[in-house]
Amino acid sequence: MEGHVHHGQPLPLVETTMKHPFDKVLLTSTVNELSSEQKFWFASSIAGMVGADGHAHREELDFLKKAINFLDSEDQIHEIISMVKGLQKGFSPPLGKLTLEPRLAFFILKYLAQIMVSDDDLSPKEIKYFLKIGSLLEYNTYYEEDKWGKSHE
């Protein structure tokens, strides 16, 4: 039957629909709109998503490699690498709120969503981390303001 799991393995329909549910996000042009501090925040959030489920898969590490490439300094690169090593011990990146225009906040969330589904294993910890990032980006507030013309909190 389509869409069901058979002996712990998804059938091809589920596999193909979950494999790449989002268009590939183009990093370069959008990331260049971010300041150095915002790029580091974004890379840190990627590191956190990679380790959110307690282990980093090869597919997730590919996203992280791209993130490291857009950083502005060697120090930032080393800090992200240290962060990822720390994630294996349960460390979470120290991220504060980040105010971005809704289009850029959505870009970050879309990129993180790709990481969540890249290993075909969506864990509750990844979902919780994703929601935390959405909150730090204040994306719910932006959405409501855009949709209704004013905030409805």
Could you report the per-residue pLDDT of 2-25, keeping only the tens digit for each? 444 444 444 343 333 344 444 445
Q: What pTM was computed for the model?
A: 0.73
Q: Which residue has the tokens 């300094």?
A: 73
Taken as a whole, the chain contains a residue count of 153
Could you report the per-residue pLDDT of 78-132, keeping only the tens digit for each? 998 888 877 666 667 889 999 999 999 999 999 999 888 887 878 898 899 999 9
